[in-house]
Structure 1
Amino acid sequence: MNQSTENKVLTPALIVVMSIATGLAVASNYYAQPLLETIAKAFSLSVSQAGFIVTAAQLGYAAGLMFIVPLGDLFERRRLIVLMTLLSALGMLITAMSSTVIGVIIGTALTGLFSVVAQILLPLAATLAEPAKRGKVVGMIMSGLLLGILLARTAAGLLASLGGWRTVYWVAAGLMVVMALVLWIALPRYKQSNGLNYPQLLISIIVLFSRNTTLRTRAFLGALSFANFSMLWTSMAFLLASPPYNYSEAVIGLFGLVGAAGALAASGAGQLTDKGKSSLVTTLGLVLLFVSWLPIAFGQYSIWALVIGIVLLDLTVQGVHVTNQSMIYRMMPEARSRLTAGYMTSYFIGGALGSLISAVAYQYGQWLGVCIAGAILSLIGIVIWCLTKRKIEQEAVLYMDSAI
């Protein structure tokens, strides 16, 4: 493997820049969620038709994970990251200027496709980090990502109240353009050569899954944990809008701030992983994820129980996710973008299935049905981990960290 970089030092300032860039990129997929009713009225759409705007973002993001993220192992990463950031901004500009819903959907899909730049920034940070601090760095970048997901809804609601739904996309596009310039200045040039062409890169993702127990298990645990996250946040608005709460959309949006507390777990989980405690963090995280559904279930009677459950669930989901990524990045430094593509595609599928299960569970079992389904998924994760834990620990010994 040949590689080149003009500067391998990952400074605290650069970590902050990459964290902010990751948060802004992933947030672009969530701005539309609190705006759907307003957009539906603007274009005379039904609720289901407006919902396809969110689906377009999800489909675009899924395609980007599978077909664009692996390019990080093929092209010079700074140039690729800046180009993708600008193209994501272009998608939001198309949405902001659209006079038809087709334009909104095209812009949203384009933004989703290139917002996976966050998943190229993350392995780059892991590559530039010192091996002994890699988990901590991954945790800090993931904090930015989770904050982007959780605060996007709050920010969109506030901006829309000030200047309409298009204002959200004008401001977000401007921020992405500025971020592209900052990244061009701040990021080092980095390129590696692995002798693979693009089709071979895609095929190698499947090969990595077939040969590596750690990747398969970590991807499955990631999918289950994000399914739990999606189950909570998909149906929670229905709970809070109904008696006894009857909260407005603005108040419901503020619950994203409660969930943001979970982002604080990312750095701590990464540091424990750096100290060789990844198995402990994973075990504790999966158990607490299961336990979190108890206060969440009581959330239909007590808002404080719900808040406690939200913080605990988001904290554990983030902790497991950071540990998963920290461990797979230790395996094959030359394949980090492909590992990310495989892992995050699984993670995304888990989130999509979680949303679907949540909607069905709420329809037939109300809030208690959602909580039971979430607890069952959490329990499945615990069982899978118990069955594969020893194999993964043995496999980990075979991989040595390399300072890339």
Structure 2
Amino acid sequence: MTVIQTTNQNDVTTTDAHPLPASLTTFFAAGAGFSVATIYYSQPLLGMLTEQWQVPAQQIGWIPSLTQLGYALGILFLAPLGDRYDRRRIILTKSGLLMLALLAAAAAGGLMSLLIASLGIGLMATMAQDIVPAAATLAPASRRGKVVGTVMTGLLLGILLSRVLSGLIADWLGWRSMFVLAALSLLAIWLVAWRTLPRFQVTSTLPYHQLLASLFHLWRQYAALRQASLVQGLLSLSFSAFWSTLAVMLHGAPFHLGSAAAGLFGLAGAAGALMAPVAGKQADRIGPVKVAMCGAALVVFFFLMMTGMSLAATSVTLQLVVLAVGTVGFDMGVQISLIANQTLVYSLEPAARSRLNALLLVLMFVGMTLGSVLGNLMLAHFGWVGVTGLATVTAVLALLLRMKKTA
């Protein structure tokens, strides 16, 4: 029996006979989705910001880079606190601070102030990684997988739809309005969390420095963890190099498309979300390593296809068609690999799943940060073919590393 101790009216005791209410599961899914979406709202806006502030695309590229770096740092240094302190308090604190960071971004008068706000957004958006274990804690054992799957679906939808929404809103109301609306969504999350979330029993009395030290112990102990994390980090580098430069590329010649068009490419990620449960089932059936290899191979294939199209002299329409198909394909491959690598990592030490997942995600977002920086450098010096070429090379490295047997 799972018992969550609380001192207010939100006392919750979950058992197989008294499952987690559907309304609370829905809240967890929405909270994860709205919080993680804040990492990606800026990406379709980059072309618009480059034009408005008259700064080089390479400098504008630091906006998503610092957001993703903040998320990686938040996972590494803040996620372990979920074992040490009441998760209700953590979720309320992070959602409030995330709202303030979004309002600071909306009020930014120049690039430097927006960069600082972007770092804060990344740090506080890690509340998504507090919500998932909170849902797992409240769920009865017999339904835990289903509950966590529902919450992860919300998280994936937040990633997928954020670019679409941001591009459309920015074209309609301007880029500042997107950050204001995002802050309002976090205000709603805060109010619902304050009203419905129970207080969580602390599960560890380890001092903060010992919680962090255990991360390094796990990293040294499991070669499979290191391999899975590095593979996903390389694929995330490819992923981020593409997405952090797409809006700027589409904004210029020969496409001359607005932020809404860049945002609509985010719909391609829906294929990746649909493949997540399929990838999980296949990981159980044939093993996560084989499934992760298939995912990495898909990423290699579709980036090779886009690189070839970049080198060929073809019509704008054909280039856009290939770009759309390639986006669907490589995003599907990244999602398949992520689910498979998570499945592998979770099996290493069940008692340390949160910390194992944190290490995997840290490498993933370090890869995304490097992808933003290197992708913008490639775009500035070599054009779009430099971006897709970089993504292809890192995806090939990921595939080769995934094929290597661990000791």
Q: TM-score, normalised by structure 2?
A: 0.82
Give how far 1:346 is off: 0.7
Partner of 1:31: 41
Contact 2:45 2:259 (8 Å CA) reproduced: no
Kindly indicate whether the alpha-carbon contact (under 8 Å) linking 1:34 and 1:253 is maintained by their aligned counterparts in 2. yes
CA contact (8 A) 2:67 2:122 kept: yes
1:88 is matched with which residue: 93, 98, 102? Answer: 98
Q: 1:275 to 1:86 in 2, by over 3 A?
A: farther
1:373 pairs with 2:375:
no
* Inter-CA distance 42–298: structure 2 relative to 1 (3 Å threshold): closer
Aligned-pair CA distance for 1:121: 1.9
Structure 1 residues 235 and 51, CA gap change in structure 2 (3 angstroms): closer
Q: Aligned equivalents of 2:3 and 2:351: distance in 1? A: 9
Partners of 1:331 and 1:107 lie apart in 2 by 37
How far residue 220 of structure 1 moved from its aligned partner, in angstroms, is 1.1
Paired residues for 1:241-252 under 5 Å: 241=251, 244-252=254-262
Instruction: Label 1:157 to 1:47 Cα distance change in 2 as closer, same or farther (>3 A).
Output: same
- RMSD of aligned alpha carbons: 3.2
From the superposition, tell whether residues 184 and 280 of structure 1 become closer, same or farther in structure 2 (CA, over 3 Å).
farther
CA shift for structure 1 position 134: 6.1
- The Cα shift of 1:373 comes to 3.0
Distance 1:43 1:236 in 2: 19
Matched, 1:320 2:337: yes
Equivalences, count: 389
Structure 1 contact 290–379 (Cα < 8 Å) conserved: yes
Q: How do 1:245-284 and structure 2 match up within 5 A?
A: 245-275=255-285, 277-284=287-294
Alpha-carbon distance in structure 2 between the residues aligned to 1:305 and 1:41? 27
Q: 1:401 is matched with which residue? A: none
Q: Percent of aligned pairs with the same residue?
A: 34
Judge conservation of contact 2:275–2:336 (CA < 8 Å) in 1: yes
Cα distance between partner residues in 2 of 1:361 and 1:43: 21
Gaps of 5+ in 1: 392-404
Residue aligning to 1:398:
none
Q: C-alpha distance in 1, partners of 2:250/2:108?
A: 32
Contact 1:26 1:148 in 2 (8 A): yes
Task: Give the 3 Å change call, closer, same or farther, for CA 189–320 of structure 1 in structure 2.
Answer: farther
Which amino acid is 1:93 matched to?
L
Q: Look up the equivalent residue of 2:335 and give its one-letter code.
A: Q
Distance 1:373 1:105, change over 3 A: closer
Deviation at 1:349, TM superposition (A): 0.9
Q: What secondary structure does 1:234 align onto?
A: helix
**Equivalent residue, structure 2, for 1:296:** 306
CA distance in 2, matches of 1:293, 1:151: 22
Which amino acid counterpart does residue 378 of structure 1 have in structure 2? A
How much has 1:257 moved relative to structure 2?
1.8
Alignment partner, residue 209 of structure 1:
219
Name the residue aligned to 1:193.
203
Please tell me whether the aligned partners of residues 136 and 274 of structure 1 are also in contact (alpha carbons under 8 angstroms).
Answer: no
Residue from 7, 18, 29 that aligns with 2:28: 18
1:230 matched residue in structure 2: 240
Q: Is the 8 A contact 2:49 2:60 kept in 1?
A: yes
How far, CA to CA, are the matches of 2:146 and 2:306 in structure 1?
Answer: 29
Q: Provide the rounded CA distance (Å) in 2 between the counterparts of 1:118 and 1:21.
A: 7
Change (3 A) 1:51 1:358: closer
**How far apart are 1:45 and its partner, in Å?**
6.1
Aligned-pair distance for 1:313?
0.9
**TM norm structure 1:** 0.82
Q: Secondary structure at the match of 1:7?
A: strand
Secondary structure of 1:202's aligned partner: helix
Residue in 2 that maps onto 1:7: 13
| Aligned residue identity for 1:348 | F
| Counterpart for residue 8 of structure 2 | none
